[in-house]
Each structure stands twice: as C-alpha cells, then as structure tokens.
Amino acid sequence: MVEVWPAPTPVATINAVCPVPGSKSESNRALVLGALGDGPSRLSGVLEARDTELMIAGLRHLGVRIQLDHDEAVVTPPEHFVPAKIDCGLAGTVARFLPPLAALSGGECSFFGDPKMSERPIAPLLDGLRQLGASCSSEHVPFSISAPDGLTGREVRIDSSGSSQFISGLLLSAARFPNGLVLHHVGDSVPSLPHIEMSVSMLAQRGVRVSNAGMTWTVEPGTISSLDQRIEPDLSNAAAFLLAGVITGGRVTVPAWPSKTTQPGDLILGVLDKVGAHSELTKDGLSAWSSEDLSGVDLDMSSASELTPVVAALAVFCNGTTRITGVGHIRGHETNRIEAIVDELNAIGVTASELADGIQIEGIGSHGSLSPRRPFKTYADHRMVHLGALLALKCSNLEVEDPKAASKTMPDFVERWTKMVNAE
C-alpha cells in the first residue's frame, strides 16, 4: 500500500525562516576524500539521510573507520581497502564514486542496489576503469569490479554526457592511482559542470591539483591530505523552501547560505531574477520573495538540472510560457524526470510537454486554479516529492504519493514542510 500525504495548502502567504540540513553532494564527496586521506578527517554538518547512510555503510565495508555523532563524522582511512559487497540503493554518488576506490582493494568488490538503480547510467565509468586496468562484470548495477594487478593505466577516454558523476568519481580517487589520471571527455556536453567544479575544489583543499584544459582533466599521483570541514547547507533542497515564499507571495529565509559556493543549487538565484522574483543575501541568510506577477522565460538549466522539478513548479505559477532546456540527461535520474514532470503536471490541469532536451510549461499565473484528478505520483524520486509539495501550495486537496522518497536527501522533509506551511 503506497503511503499518501495530504500536502498542506497555506491559508495565507508563507513567511518563515527555514534551516536545511547539509549538502548531499558535499557530504558524500567529503566522506570519500576522508577515506582516501593521509589521516583522520573530522566532518561537521554531514547530511543524515539515506544517500549518506549508504555511502557510510559502503566505506565501512571497504575497511574505513567512521565514527558518527548525529551530523558529526570522524573518518579514519584504513591501511588497505578490503574487498566488499556494497549496496548503492538509488544513490548515484555511491554507485559512481565508490567503484574507483573499491578497485584499490586488489580484490573483487560487488555493487547492487534498488531495482531502479539498474536503469541509471554507469557504463562510461566502468569503461574508464577498464581502460585503467580493472575488470568489470557488467554495464549496469549490479556489477562486480576487480583490479588484482592494480590500476596501471593513466589515460582514459569516456563519454560523460549522461552524468558529470562519471568524471567526479574518477577524479576523487585519481591521486591514489599509481600513475595518476588523464581523463578526456568525448561526446556531447557534460551536464552539471558545477558538480565537477565542486570535486576539483574539494580536492584542491586537500592538496590535490587538478589541471583542466577544455574537456581534459589531469591528476598526478600523490597524497590526499586529511581535512576538517564544515558541510554547507544543501542549496538544491533549500530551493524548494525558498520557492514556497515566492509562489505564495510571502518571504522565506534559509540561514547559513554561503556567499561563495560550487553547489549548483545556488543557481536558483538567477532563475528568480529572470522570472521577476527577488532575493537578498544578508548575515541572516538568503531570503526570496515576490510581490508581483511572475513571467515565463526560457531557462537553460544544464548547469543545475537537479533544480528542474522545483523550477517546473515555479513555471506553473508564472504568466506565459516557460521552456526549461539543457536537461535531457535527467531522463536517466532516479526516474525519467522529464516524462514524470510532464505527466504529473498534465494530471492536475497544467499544459506541459516534452522537448528534446527539456520541458515546455504553459503557466497559469498567480491566480490560476488547479484540479487534482488523482494522487500525485513521485516515482520514488525525492525531487518529485518537492514538486508535489510546491504545487499543493495553490492546489488544495492534492495528495502526494510516497512522501518518504524525500528521505533520500531529507528524512524529515514532510515535517519541515508542514511546519513552514502551517506557520507552526
């Protein structure tokens, strides 16, 4: 029996201060780099959610010692990684960041996950590991990997147009490869480049220099230094809360928003500006609001495709047409997000259609009405839960299926959202 959540509709504008937990992207990168470091690393603000739990479990199976105290983690690397069986769940970061590290164990490591994980692309990463000297049993999850003679290669050519995580996964471990890494991307444009920039920046903080020339990244072999780090709030999750203020004509503030960041979620500020909303960064955090009608626009979201579902919700309440492009690769995310968004918007009376690399949405404006004809499906996708919650702000009686899918990156999303909407 699928759980159904009667997502709340506010009786007035939403005015709230909404802290959000740590970034999943930063948390899982920091955990991997801590495992590869030259000594213990202390991490604070680590996200407590399914994706990070899976990462921690996987690293522990590989021999890494991780001491946890709520959102504090002390990561102590092992003298040698050990062969392991690793559950990826539905976490792309686990499936794509741990195989290069696992190949350093010298034995056979197996990876498995949720049924939908087998549909998520991973073949280019495994091909890259083969070019380095590893053996891989499959082109998708489940698979096994081994490199008994070590990763003796250096130069790799892969097509990363399906996910920037293929590049990040190899870069994070590259300094520990005997001959380092020269990684060439061959293919269409790489999506979500800020995520690669995040990986490069976090490596630099640990003494690893990544040289970049066009679509080639080079890492020399060497030490990855241990580092104590405070994880930033998850700005992609925060975007949903900010948009609640904008959509209802109120004002929402997210504390501790960084003034400088590599998180793609920060690009929501440019979206707000383009549609006619406002934002302001102060010592209290990042505030977003709107006191006037919003306008549909053309948006290239290739650098922040994970924002597509919440931006689609914003587009519904704009006047005119919004075209979200540059996100064709999200058909291979937790679900086919383009198809899912279009189907669910059409189901509540919004005119939406698929584009080759995105979505076109005909907005209903701030005073339009929506009519749910069935529960809102979320397809086991945390970002679709966010979309349903935002639509419910102006669509009373909207029931959102499987709200626990949000636990992938925010286990208490429903509680936080309800508190904000009901001004509790």
Active site residue 415: no
Rounded CA separation 302/377 (Å): 25
Residue 127 pLDDT > 90: yes
Largest separation between any pair of C-alpha atoms in the chain: 65
Q: What are phi and psi of 214, to 5 degrees?
A: 65, -120
Residue 424 pLDDT > 80: no
Give the mean pLDDT of 137-165.
96
Q: Which residues neighbour 237 within 8 Å (Cβ) at sequence distance 6 or greater?
A: 20, 21, 265, 386, 409, 410, 413
Higher-pLDDT residue of 123, 367: 123
pTM score, whole prediction: 0.94
Q: Chain-centre distance of CA 61, in angstroms? A: 24
**DSSP for 117-172, written as a single string:** GGGS--HHHHHHHHHHT-EES-SSSSEEEE-TT-----EEEE--TT-THHHHHHHH
Residue 131 known to bind ligand: no
Q: Which residues neighbour 79 within 8 Å (Cβ) at sequence distance 6 or greater?
A: none
Give the mean pLDDT of 406-421.
97
Residue 65 known to bind ligand: no
Rounded CA separation 418/423 (Å): 8
Per-residue pLDDT band at 326 (split at 50, 70, 90)? very high
Give the mean pLDDT of 91-116.
97
What is the SS3 assignment for 66?
strand
Residue 260 known to bind ligand: no
Rounded CA separation 11/269 (Å): 26
Name the token pair of 294.
């919003």
pLDDT single digits (tens) 306-320 = 999 999 999 999 999
- Classify 61 in phi/psi space as left (phi over 0), alpha (psi -120 to 50) or beta: alpha
∠ CA 409-280-407, nearest 5°, is: 10
Residue 371 known to bind ligand: no
Residue 383 known to bind ligand: yes
Give all strands of the β-sheet with 143-146 in edge-to-edge order. Answer: 85-87, 109-112, 143-146, 135-136
- pLDDT for res 85: 98
What is the SS3 assignment for 46?
coil
Residue 163 known to bind ligand: yes
Residue 93 pLDDT > 80: yes
Rounded CA separation 264/302 (Å): 10
Residue 29 known to bind ligand: yes
pLDDT single digits (tens) 18-38 = 999 999 999 999 999 999 999
Which is the catalytic residue, given 232, 306, 344, 401? Answer: 306
**DSSP for 342-403, written as a single string:** HHHHHHTT-EEEEETTEEEEEEE-TT------SPBP-TT-HHHHHHHHHHHTTSTT-EEE-G
Residue 60 known to bind ligand: no
Q: Which residues neighbour 144 within 8 Å (Cβ) at sequence distance 6 or greater?
A: 108, 109, 110, 111, 136, 137, 138
Q: Are 184 and 124 in contact (CB under 8 A)?
A: no
Residue 120 known to bind ligand: yes
- Classify 378 in phi/psi space as left (phi over 0), alpha (psi -120 to 50) or beta: alpha
Q: Amino acid identity, residue 316?
A: V
Residue 139 known to bind ligand: no
pLDDT cut 90: percent of the chain above it: 96
Residue 333 pLDDT > 90: no
Give the mean pLDDT of 163-175.
98
- DSSP element (H, E) containing 100: helix 92-102
Domain with CATH 3.65.10.10 in the chain: 4-21+233-422, 24-230
Q: Which residues pair with 361 in a beta bridge?
A: 322, 352
- pLDDT for res 156: 98
Is the domain spanning 24-230 CATH 3.90.650.10? The answer is no
Architecture of the domain whose range is 4-21+233-422: Alpha-beta prism (3.65)
Dihedral sign for Cα atoms in the order 97, 100, 105, 108: positive
Residue 332 known to bind ligand: no
Q: Are 88 and 111 in contact (CB under 8 A)?
A: yes
Residue 92 known to bind ligand: yes
Name the token pair of 348.
């509540």
Per-residue pLDDT band at 292 (split at 50, 70, 90)? confident
